[in-house]
């Protein structure tokens, strides 16, 4: 059994005058959400052996703040393929994970992460959480997927069980839509 934890980067600062999207930093609300999600992951006992992440500035900053709340740091493996990746590319990244890691935290971007959940979890009406993801996978949200596989190379569509899906607003309403 493998576990894949998908963590979308927190809210970024669209007002920052950076030249490239890749360099966009978090805003204050994003920093707060990343901290709250780290504290939540720690409290819920969400564990992972490895972190693989997009090297975009907003993901790097999200993970730094998340680990502050989590109380432990696991050095990420930065994989440029995750930056704004499509689901076929994300499947390639997952298939390349080492089998020594049973639980992996992947941090990246939408629409890729949302589409990955929708591709991996069967659309058979059995998962109300999947329906929540289908509505929206907001910034700083965490989806935990359980995979009945022994090797990451075996990952494929319609194989996962969505064990949990948590949005920052589920933990703090001030982090919901429309709040600054």
**Segment 153-162, tens digit of pLDDT:** 999 999 999 9
Residue 178 C-alpha from the chain's centroid: 22
> Which residues are known binding-site members for substrate?
58
- Asked whether the beta carbons of 70 and 38 are under 8 A apart, the reply is yes
End-to-end alpha carbon distance in the chain: 40
> Which residues are known binding-site members?
58
pLDDT tens digits, 27-69: 999 999 999 999 999 999 999 999 999 999 999 999 999 999 9
- Residue 88's alpha-carbon distances to 97, 115, 154, 157, in angstroms, are 15, 10, 14, 10
Closest by Cα among 34, 3, 4, 2 to 113: 4
Task: Please tell me what DSSP assigns to residue 46.
Answer: -
pTM: 0.95
Q: Count of CB atoms within 10 A of residue 36's CB?
A: 23
Q: What integer pLDDT is reported at residue 65 of this predicted model?
A: 98
What's the fold here for domain 2-175? Rossmann fold (3.40.50)
Angstrom distance (rounded) from CA 161 to CA 121? 6
pLDDT beneath 50: ranges in the chain? none
């Amino acid at each position: 059994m493998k576990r894949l934890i998908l963590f979308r980067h927190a809210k970024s600062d669209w007002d920052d005058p950076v030249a490239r999207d890749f360099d966009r930093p978090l805003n204050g609300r994003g920093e707060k959400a990343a901290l709250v999600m780290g504290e939540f992951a720690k409290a819920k006992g969400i564990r992972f052996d490895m972190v693989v992440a997009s090297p975009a500035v907003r993901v790097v900053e999200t993970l730094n703040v998340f680990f502050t709340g989590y109380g432990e740091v696991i050095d990420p493996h930065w994989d440029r393929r995750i930056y704004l990746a499509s689901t076929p590319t994300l499947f390639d990244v997952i298939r390349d994970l080492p089998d020594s890691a049973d639980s992996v935290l992947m941090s990246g971007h939408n629409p890729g992460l949302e589409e990955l959940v929708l591709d991996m979890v069967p659309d058979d009406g059995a998962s109300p959480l999947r329906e929540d993801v289908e509505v929206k996978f907001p910034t700083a949200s965490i989806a935990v997927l359980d995979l009945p596989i022994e090797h990451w190379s075996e990952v494929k569509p319609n194989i996962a069980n969505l064990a949990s899906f948590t949005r920052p607003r589920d933990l703090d309403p001030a982090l919901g839509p429309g709040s600054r």
